[in-house]
Structure 1
Amino acid sequence: MKHTTKRKMTVAMTLLLTGAIALGGCGNGGSANSDAAANTGTGGNAAAGSGEPVTIKYYNWDNEAQSVATEGMLNDFMKENPEIKVEHVVLVPGDSVEMLKKLDFLISSGEAVDVIALPNLGSVYERATRGALAPLDEYYEQAGLVPEDEYYVNPKIDEQIYGMQLTSSFNYVLLNKDALDEVGLPVPTYGWTWDDYREYAKKLTKGEGVDKRYGSYFHTWELYMNAPAQTVMKDPFRYDDGSTILADPTYKYFFQLRKDMETVDQSAKPYADVLAAKLNYRTEFFNEEAAMVLSGSWTIPDPANLEQYPHDFKTAFAPVPLPPAGAEPKDYEGGKYFTSGNQVVMGATSKNKEASFKLMRYMTTADSEARTEFSGWKKADNQAVLDRLIGDNAELYDVESLQSTLFGEDIEYLDASSVITVSTSELTKIVGDGFSKFMLSNESIDDVQKWMVDEATKIINEKESK
């Protein structure tokens, strides 16, 4: 799955994570759900006061296995809330892109849409700005809830909230623990920098030719073109004032770091080879072609998946490195990380909005043994999810490093960006083209960065507003 899509739009948030949909929350779901039920009125329900249960629909893109878990949660919800009947509608199994197309057709046809799972923030903002979604503020107020106290990421337009965070995903670095031990390096902890990462990569590189193990592998996504922009900045394209970030010091720093690691240190597989061979970052790591790779929490099950990724080393984990002194972003907030996740939203055409809100709260906060992704609810017991993901395979993990990377006291998350970026595909292409210009030719970083800034500014002036 892609993880660079995770933040193409503004968010009101203090954390974040991503992945395919897994429904429900963890921890103190029972009391939270009871509070919400007690404080949420019935006004506006089509059948309010009639004694008959109202029927609402829950739309998503579950595959077969996920659908079983969803059905179990919906059945539990209906047992707790006999006044509400929920129909589970899988629009396109296992395909969120096609699901969104079908959803938009339903909305445009005038169908009453109740609760929808959406795969990312961009999909929330796109539909909210078209008037397809209902703001949630009045329902939060009725329930006596402050959304910023409840969820890490709260998509907001004109001070109104349009989504409720269902899942979270986190970036981190996977490391071959056996390779670290071999060269006497400790597992890095919060506060290490990309300069430190480069030094680790040098020491972890060994061998030649087909037997060479690179210290690091960088994949082709924009996450690997400017990791600081994707991990420690509020928006990967624009500052809070709406201007392009492509002039940011992190671009010059990280582009040069990538090139130096390939050409000077020879500790990272060349970008040209990665493009030509269409490599997979997971197999590069588990086949011991590379000792470190920047990735994220969607890969936690992978070390235990010996059938697909046969290996005999232990996997360690480290927080994403921070920019070193002198290369910090313009709007740097001292090493806080960006995070995101799937959202559930309410259709503007729903005739049963209070019932829909109650279902949304349940799906995001209920304790579920079926959950295999971290919750976006701040009060969830995400440690229980981690234990479930590791299962009986603790010997394949450096569990202590994984726990501190995910839940360490130093780990903090960014607040929201104040801009909504709608031309993300065009801006992403500029970043990719600029990176390729620098990595695959002799163009200077100054010339490449000026070209990127000029191109991005044209698009922002034409298509964006603060």
Structure 2
Amino acid sequence: MKMRGRSKVNTLLSLVLASTLVVSACGNGNNNNTPSASPSPGNGESKPQAEQVTIKYYNWDNEAQAAGTRGMLDEFTAENPNIKVEHVVLVPGNSVEMLQKLDFLISSGEAIDVIQLPSLGSVLERATRGAFEPLNTYYTNENLTPEDEYFVNAKVGEDYYGMQFTKSVNYVMLNKDMLDEAGLAVPKYGWTWDDYREYAKQLTQGEGVDKRYGSYFHTWELYMNAPAQTMMKDPFLYDDGTTILADPTYKYFFELRKGMEETDKTSKPYADILAAKLNYRTEFFNEEAAMILTGNFTIPDPGNTEQYPHDFKTAFAPVPVPPAGSEPKDYEGKYFTSGSQIAMGATSKHKEAAFKLMRFMTTADSDNRMEFSGYKKANNEELLTKLIAGKEDMYDVDSLKYSLFSEDIQFLDGAQVMTTATSELTKVINDGFSKYMLSNEPIDEVQAWMVGEATKIISEKGVIK
């Protein structure tokens, strides 16, 4: 609201000013926390004090990540003293269970301000349910074009729902001391999953409780079909909107997993991992396993010897590629990249403050940032230097930089189609993998079942273009 002009009549001046101050103060009480227009600095008039609000920032940080998040939130509140931010960790270190808890909070009507989500799909799925606020108006007000700001944008139709917070790059972490002991070189781009299997054989030692496995695969779908999850544009759909569960990589990787567990005995059994609820970081840093497929969110971990005590150096290698004859459909030899997203709850009572926090978290050049940024103007190589500063002796730095920034490492363009049924399709992948690994059902029957289930789900839910 613009302030009225001054009257030439002195007796009316005080009345106009008093009325303006009252109306301006009331104008800050709306649900969207939209600020009223105020006199520009330097014109001799004081700026009205901004309304004090409290908003919540939700995520799934583990202990180490929470310290970095708290640091960034403190920086934000120092710059914005009228906005207090409460950090709410829904389920520490577990994004899958965090999403389940988030859905419960949404269904119960809790006011959600700002939430970090693990993937683009997890944003789109909830956006189509009306759980998140479209960001178009806020972008327009700030003269921002999302495609100029972020690598990946969460978009349904013409509406934007998420800002890319982190940029994901997958790689394999290897115990460098064990590689040297076995006389194995740190792999480069182009090594295959068959090569990985051979490495695991040479890195496995011992028996029983003292056994050291060459490889560890965790319980997520990333480890059920790594080629599909790391070298295809979308982990659920082809560009034509059909399911990728028919892809030849599924049969190849399911059989590779079973062969490594049952024939080679170089990877800890899936059943044991489920029963013991093992932690993948602990398996690697406790030297229970020599190699693990993971992502750049683990970069700080080798240097964090307080939380993960160990004395070996960690090497890094690009994700293995599928061998000839087992490549995915439309294979380009490039890697998938996405990352976590930050969204605004549709129920937030302080949306302007929420948007301001979202922009800060996604764009700030902060020493407290612990993962690569999805912001196009961020300097991720500089961030890497900060992340490992003072701990370089725990890293094979050359292999880390190669796996992240080498010209050999190229990334796929974004998917042309996506689905909102990520939870349902993930369950199909998990159930199919269990049928094969735990119930020993034939691979061809399992894959046919997976394709049938996925096709029904996609037909019912549709796709996003």
Find the aligned partners of 1:233 and 1:405 in 2 and give their Cα distance.
18
Change (3 A) 1:461 1:396: same
Q: How many residues align?
A: 413
Q: What secondary structure, in the 3-state scheme, does the structure 1 residue paired with 2:180 have?
A: helix
Contact 2:229 2:336 in 1 (8 A): no
Contact 1:190 1:410 in 2 (8 A): yes
Find the aligned partners of 1:435 and 1:102 in 2 and give their Cα distance.
30
| 1:263 Cα deviation after fit | 2.9
Q: Which runs of 5+ in 1 are unaligned?
A: 1-43, 80-84
After the TM superposition, which of the residue ranges 121-130 and 58-67 deviates more from structure 2? 58-67
After the TM superposition, which of the residue ranges 47-56 and 301-310 deviates more from structure 2? 47-56
Q: Can you list the C-alpha shifts for 1:90-113, whole angstroms capped at 9, x where unaligned?
A: 456766554564466556xxx7x7
Contact 2:192 2:322 in 1 (8 A): yes
Q: What secondary structure, in the 3-state scheme, does the structure 2 residue paired with 1:462 have?
A: helix
Contact 2:344 2:351 in 1 (8 A): no
Contact 1:73 1:363 in 2 (8 A): no
Q: Can you list the C-alpha shifts for 1:142-179, whole angstroms capped at 9, x where unaligned?
A: 65544223212211111332221222333211101111
Find the aligned partners of 2:438 and 2:123 in 1 and give their Cα distance.
36
- Aligned pairs (5 A) from 1:10-409: 45-49=34-38, 51-52=47-48, 54-55=50-51, 58-61=55-58, 65=67, 68-78=70-80, 85-90=82-87, 96-97=98-99, 98=101, 101-102=104-105, 105=108, 116-120=114-118, 121-137=120-136, 139-140=138-139, 143-345=142-344, 347=346, 353=352, 357=355, 359-409=357-407
Change (3 A) 1:441 1:352: closer
Q: Can you list the C-alpha shifts for 1:340-364, whole angstroms capped at 9, x where unaligned?
A: 11324475877875x7655543332
Change (3 A) 1:271 1:362: closer
The residue identity in structure 2 corresponding to 1:52 is P
Q: What secondary structure, in the 3-state scheme, does the structure 1 residue paired with 2:334 have?
A: coil
The residue identity in structure 1 corresponding to 2:366 is S
| 1:389 Cα deviation after fit | 2.6
Task: Specify the alignment match of 2:15 in structure 1.
Answer: none
> In the alignment, which of 427, 430, 438 is matched to residue 428 of structure 2?
430
| 1:185 Cα deviation after fit | 1.5
Q: What secondary structure, in the 3-state scheme, does the structure 1 residue paired with 2:172 have?
A: strand
Change (3 A) 1:422 1:126: closer
After the TM superposition, which of the residue ranges 319-328 and 330-339 deviates more from structure 2? 330-339
- Aligned pairs (5 A) from 1:409-424: 409-424=407-422
The residue identity in structure 1 corresponding to 2:365 is D
Task: Specify the alignment match of 2:3 in structure 1.
Answer: none
Greater C-alpha Rg? 2
Contact 1:61 1:94 in 2 (8 A): no
Q: Can you list the C-alpha shifts for 1:280-323, whole angstroms capped at 9, x where unaligned?
A: 32222223222111112232232233344333221111121122
Find the aligned partners of 1:87 and 1:93 in 2 and give their Cα distance.
19
Find the aligned partners of 2:89 and 2:215 in 1 and give their Cα distance.
37
Once superposed, what is the RMSD of the aligned Cα atoms?
3.1
Contact 1:233 1:338 in 2 (8 A): no
Tell me: higher relative CO, structure 1 or 2? Use CA pairs within 8 A at least 6 residues apart. Answer: 1
After the TM superposition, which of the residue ranges 125-134 and 89-98 deviates more from structure 2? 89-98
Change (3 A) 1:448 1:92: closer
Find the aligned partners of 1:402 and 1:465 in 2 and give their Cα distance.
37
Q: What secondary structure, in the 3-state scheme, does the structure 1 residue paired with 2:243 have?
A: coil
Find the aligned partners of 1:90 and 1:158 in 2 and give their Cα distance.
31
Find the aligned partners of 2:337 and 2:242 in 1 and give their Cα distance.
19
Find the aligned partners of 1:377 and 1:265 in 2 and give their Cα distance.
43
Find the aligned partners of 1:231 and 1:67 in 2 and give their Cα distance.
27
| 1:254 Cα deviation after fit | 0.5
TM-score of the aligned structures, taking structure 1 as reference length: 0.78
The residue identity in structure 2 corresponding to 1:225 is M
Find the aligned partners of 1:118 and 1:426 in 2 and give their Cα distance.
21
The residue identity in structure 1 corresponding to 2:419 is T
Contact 1:300 1:389 in 2 (8 A): yes
Find the aligned partners of 1:356 and 1:73 in 2 and give their Cα distance.
15
